[in-house]
Chain A
């Protein structure tokens, strides 16, 4: 599933316009189809952010209510799906904020180390495993997910929004109320932290 957030205009949006007018009319079968077609990816996006199935379901319900309530405000500057994607992510972020989960926490222990000559300290990589081959084992996927979930939220969320949800830097900055340069710094730190966390897998060591 690709979740591009760039604007889509022109004839591509005719199905969106048809669906919106069906929804506004309160057409039962169309509403049913609309909910069933979108609820899966919305739940997945929300769950990745809030890391809790039940909270994610609450987010999705609230997001659908927002979608239905604001159909008149949808101007077609993006696809309907892109618009809904932002709504569900904002809803999930609000849930995290309500639980004070977006507080600053240090990631310094996971960042690269340099010596006094500004040279990087990095043990030689005798083996660098292929990520695709590693993911054949379902246990690996679960451990990787749990390591990502253990990262400090503010870094994990930037990583998720930019690299997984594929939002732009400016969209992430707006959603998290950060400057774009701050988002970039956090993204790089998050990826550096990720590298450190996943290093044993990639070196072919047992975790």
Chain B
């Protein structure tokens, strides 16, 4: 897929992110996991956080990325609680019978 052609404002944005000690949005993307797991060395972490301050798109993206993970964990957690209370007695008996066989 060809990347869309950027507007002048976005081209300037892109040039700004290529200055020394800056990262582009694509580089930011590759650091997200390490940042969230606190695996970035201090210098890289501050470069990452600076990008986060100046780039609205990446800031919005990361907030939604975190929120979606929280939503997924919450939904799966509710499902797990429901399943925990819903074990068929037949299954318990089958396991016990196999153990005693």
Contact = CB atoms under 8 A, between A and B. Distances in A.
Interface of A: 1, 26, 28, 31-32, 35-36, 39-41, 43-44, 47-48, 57, 60-61, 64-65, 68, 112-122, 124-125, 128-132, 134-135, 140-141, 144-145, 148, 159-160, 163-164, 184, 187-188, 191-192, 194-195, 197-199, 201-202
Contacts, number: 176
Given A121-B57, A141-B79, A128 B67 contact: yes
A75 B87 CA distance: 29
Interface string B31-57: 011000000000000000000000111
Contact of B4 (A121, A132, A134): A121
Contact of A57 (B61, B91, B100): B91
Interface residues of B, number: 55
B97 to A, nearest CB: 10
Interface of B: 3-6, 10-11, 13-15, 17-18, 24-29, 32-33, 55-58, 60-61, 63-65, 67-76, 78-80, 83-88, 91-92, 94-96, 98-100
Given A121-B4, A122-B61, A31 B79 contact: no
